[in-house]
């Protein structure tokens, strides 16, 4: 029987059937190792803000502008650089504006085609010709390759390029070509995108963001708790479904469900309008600035209350079913004195701000009414059978996870659960205890079982773990001692609203603790970083996103408009290129139209976190390590060809 190595080499010989083929591939891979590493772009907590998100993708967190600076330096005015930058971001819209004022569009086309070619040459210079070719837009692939590739055999290069550009303009393809080459620049300035969680909730367009991510050339996603609750909803977990609808209602975004995903909310709306018709629902005001007294807003208020009561009932049912979650203190409906309108928490009695509970049976407060049961059944089927939602969730499963180690950076959304002393906290999950990396791996596996397990109990437990990840004190994506949703709605006393953070957040400046976390995930603390989001950095109060001497980078700075008053900015992004790591602070994004007309960008300043002494090459990255392994395998195949172990397939 052939040994494993021989069988592997025979399979490899199917791909590289001759000495020449194997040798050529070794040369190709070796050349890639000596190219500059590709630029990585890190974003987190985008929370449905699709316009700002789209703009950051277009500008590569400032990478496009830096590329223009590299190419033109002092040869171009700042105003012209802004104009060229805007053209690259929004080529069609920018040309529509230019056409209104420019008397000679042919000359304008000619000038800007040359400028764009220069930028695209620089952007393509750090990649192999093969990789650039794969990125070229199909309609103009050959022409763009001709224009951005040096032609040693052409004696009169200027005349050669002039003729190509003149032909593009003469046959009426200049605008299409400008759009194509602008998109190529956007594509080339960022090699890989990291999303560190919370794509969903608060903002109006998470479904649009998901569509963009699905078409992006290279991306990974670390799930946030707001993403996992949507994943649970898509899997049919009722508590997650109720939370998703409640948050959409609270932020006036029910059209995400109705228009974005085609979820029918009419039965819920009809129920809410009838049952809470005379209820002012004052505790359920929406987190939006539109007129709260409009007919639509009044309907949303009632939907907001109706689904919240359903949520509290469903969560009580989960807590009863999953006793190992130890969340009995979060089942609150049975603690209410419905006659007096009070609730007892931790031995103290509080007056409720809202005492109208027409669907709650005081003798069995967690039981759904017959109509509520029918509504939640229909919603469960709608979420499970929504093709677009399922497609988006499968993408999150395929491209995502609870953490990622990439190029000596540990990426996760929330926190690693710790004890008060800074040790990795031991957490029980379905009867087994885990901590650190093992906890992440165990929870990740449970999530996937919630979608794919054949055993019915395993699948239900997987669904329930998504609700657990959403709000459990031991969840690495939540990181607080409780989610005080009920208290924030129904109690005036601020002490009941308080959510104590995991000790991780108090110990984030402790180098010994941070080094312990890095080693737990297989990293050398000497050159590694932790990058995470989840808790907004309050820059206006003097807080820095750079923690523990630069070992931890917290890049949630308020991408969501809901947080920008607290943070003072509109978020952070991180850029890691061959020269080092830069932290980019963002200004609030007004609109795409304003960005085009005013030629303004949203990155306000950059902070150098690390600067490489020598330019980092592909050989020093995770991709480089994989390429080196491939080279070793191919060299072993070459040796097998030459010593007669494997026969060439000529």
Calculated CA dihedral for residues 235, 236, 238, 240, nearest 10 degrees? 30
Pairwise pLDDT comparison (149 vs 501), residue with the higher score: 501
Of the candidates 489, 459, 425, 134, which has an alpha carbon nearest to the alpha carbon of residue 285?
Answer: 489
For the segment 281-294, what is each residue's pLDDT rounded down to a tens digit? 999 999 875 555 68
pLDDT, mean of residues 3-23? 93
Pairwise pLDDT comparison (534 vs 325), residue with the higher score: 325
For the segment 160-216, what is each residue's pLDDT rounded down to a tens digit? 889 999 999 999 999 999 999 999 999 999 999 999 999 999 999 999 999 999 999
For the segment 390-408, what is each residue's pLDDT rounded down to a tens digit? 999 999 999 999 999 999 9
pLDDT, mean of residues 92-110? 94
Is 475 among the domain residues? no
Same domain, 268 and 189: no
Strand 552-554 relative to strand 546-547, pairing: antiparallel
Q: Quick one: pLDDT at residue 551? A: 95
Same domain, 578 and 629: no
Same domain, 164 and 31: no
Check pLDDT > 60 for residue 630. Answer: yes
Q: Quick one: pLDDT at residue 243? A: 98
For the segment 84-96, what is each residue's pLDDT rounded down to a tens digit? 999 999 999 999 9
Same domain, 242 and 276: yes
Cβ contact 232:240 at 8 Å: yes
Q: Final residue of a domain: which of 371, 388, 418?
A: 371
Location of structure tokens 């190029």: 407
Res. 584 pLDDT band, cuts 50 70 90? confident
Here the tokens at position 559 are 């991408």
Q: Quick one: pLDDT at residue 568? A: 65
Same domain, 49 and 191: yes
| 337: enclosing H helix or E strand | strand 336-337
Check pLDDT > 80 for residue 540. Answer: no
pLDDT, mean of residues 250-255? 94
Q: Quick one: pLDDT at residue 566? A: 67
Res. 1 pLDDT band, cuts 50 70 90? very low
Res. 248 pLDDT band, cuts 50 70 90? very high
Share of the chain above pLDDT 90, in %: 81
Instruction: Please count the structural domains in the chain.
Output: 3
* Domain carrying residue 165: 40-196+533-616
Check pLDDT > 50 for residue 231. Answer: yes
Q: Quick one: pLDDT at residue 3? A: 86
Same domain, 77 and 95: yes
Is 209 among the domain residues? no
Q: Final residue of a domain: which of 351, 371, 391?
A: 371
Q: Final residue of a domain: which of 371, 399, 422?
A: 371
Is 518 among the domain residues? no
pLDDT, mean of residues 238-262? 97
Same domain, 21 and 90: no
Average pLDDT, the chain: 92
For the segment 373-395, what is each residue's pLDDT rounded down to a tens digit? 999 999 999 999 999 999 999 99
Q: What pTM value is reported for the model? A: 0.94
DSSP string, 78-129: HHHHHHHHHHHHSHHHHHHHHHHH-S-HHHHHHHHHHHHHHHHHHHHTTS-H
For the segment 39-96, what is each residue's pLDDT rounded down to a tens digit? 999 999 999 999 989 999 998 888 999 999 999 999 999 999 999 999 999 999 999 9
For the segment 430-443, what is each residue's pLDDT rounded down to a tens digit? 999 999 999 999 99
Same domain, 22 and 70: no
Cβ contact 276:303 at 8 Å: no
Distance separating alpha carbons of residues 189 and 231, to the nearest angstrom: 31
Same domain, 48 and 146: yes
Q: Quick one: pLDDT at residue 440? A: 98
Distance separating alpha carbons of residues 231 and 249, to the nearest angstrom: 18
Q: Quick one: pLDDT at residue 613? A: 80
Is 601 among the domain residues? yes
Q: Quick one: pLDDT at residue 292? A: 57
């Amino acid at each position: 029987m052939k040994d494993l190595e021989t069988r592997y080499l025979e399979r490899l010989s199917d791909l590289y059937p001759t000495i020449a083929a194997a040798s050529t591939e070794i040369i190709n891979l070796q050349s890639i190792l000596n190219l500059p590493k590709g630029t990585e772009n890190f974003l987190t907590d985008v929370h449905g803000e699709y316009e700002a998100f789209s703009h950051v993708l277009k500008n590569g967190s400032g990478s496009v502008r830096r590329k223009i600076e590299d190419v033109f330096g002092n040869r171009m005015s700042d105003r012209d650089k802004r104009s060229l930058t805007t053209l690259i971001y929004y080529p069609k819209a920018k040309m529509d504006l230019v056409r209104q004022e420019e008397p000679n569009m042919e000359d304008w086309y000619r000038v800007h085609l040359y400028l764009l070619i220069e930028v695209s040459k620089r952007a393509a210079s750090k990649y192999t010709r093969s990789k650039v070719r794969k990125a070229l837009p199909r309609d103009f692939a050959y022409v763009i390759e001709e224009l951005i590739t040096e032609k040693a055999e052409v004696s009169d290069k200027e005349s050669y390029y002039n003729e190509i550009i003149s032909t593009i303009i003469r046959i009426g393809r200049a605008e299409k070509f400008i759009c194509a080459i602008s998109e190529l620049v956007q594509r080339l300035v960022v090699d890989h995108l990291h999303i560190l969680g919370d794509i969903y909730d608060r903002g109006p367009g998470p479904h649009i963001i998901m569509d963009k991510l699905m078409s992006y050339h290279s991306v990974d996603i670390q799930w946030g708790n707001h993403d996992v609750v949507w994943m649970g909803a898509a899997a049919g977990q009722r508590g997650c479904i109720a939370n998703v609808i409640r948050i959409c209602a609270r932020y006036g975004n029910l059209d995400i469900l109705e228009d974005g995903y085609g979820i029918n909310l009419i039965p819920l709306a009809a129920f809410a309008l009838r049952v809470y018709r005379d209820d002012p629902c004052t505790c359920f005001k929406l987190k939006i600035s539109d007129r709260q007294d409009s007919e639509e807003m009044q309907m949303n208020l009632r939907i907001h209350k109706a689904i919240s009561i359903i949520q509290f009932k469903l969560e009580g049912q989960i807590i009863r079913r999953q006793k190992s979650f130890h969340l009995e203190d979060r089942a609150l409906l049975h603690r209410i004195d419905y006659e007096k309108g009070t609730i007892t928490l931790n031995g103290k009695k509080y007056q409720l701000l809202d005492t109208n509970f027409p669907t709650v049976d005081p003798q069995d407060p967690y039981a759904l009414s017959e109509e509520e049961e029918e509504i939640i059944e229909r919603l469960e089927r709608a979420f499970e059978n929504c093709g677009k939602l399922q497609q988006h969730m499968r993408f999150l499963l395929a491209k995502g996870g609870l953490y990622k180690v990439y190029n000596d950076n540990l990426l996760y959304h929330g926190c690693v659960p710790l004890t008060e002393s800074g040790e990795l906290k031991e957490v029980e999950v379905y009867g087994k205890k885990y901590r650190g990396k093992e906890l992440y791996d165990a929870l990740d596996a449970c999530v996937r079982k919630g979608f794919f397990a054949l055993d019915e109990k395993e699948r239900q437990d997987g669904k329930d773990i998504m609700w657990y990840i959403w709000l459990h004190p031991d969840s690495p994506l939540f990181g607080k001692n409780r989610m005080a949703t009920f208290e924030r709605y129904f109690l005036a006393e601020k002490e009941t609203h308080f959510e104590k953070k995991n000790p991780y957040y108090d110990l984030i400046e402790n180098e010994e603790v941070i080094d312990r976390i890095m080693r737990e995930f297989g990293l050398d603390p000497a050159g590694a970083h932790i990058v995470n989001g989840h808790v907004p950095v309050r820059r206006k109060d003097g807080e820095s996103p750079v923690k523990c001497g630069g070992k931890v980078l917290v890049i949630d700075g308020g991408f969501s408009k809901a947080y920008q008053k607290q943070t003072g900015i509109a978020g952070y992004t991180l850029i890691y290129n061959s020269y080092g790591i830069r932290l980019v602070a963002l200004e609030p994004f007004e609109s795409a139209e304003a960005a085009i007309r005013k030629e303004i960008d949203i990155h306000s300043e950059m902070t150098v976190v690390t600067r490489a002494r020598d330019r980092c090459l592909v050989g020093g990255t995770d991709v480089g390590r994989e390429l080196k392994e491939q080279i070793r395998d191919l060299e072993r195949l070459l040796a097998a060809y030459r010593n007669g172990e494997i026969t060439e397939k000529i």
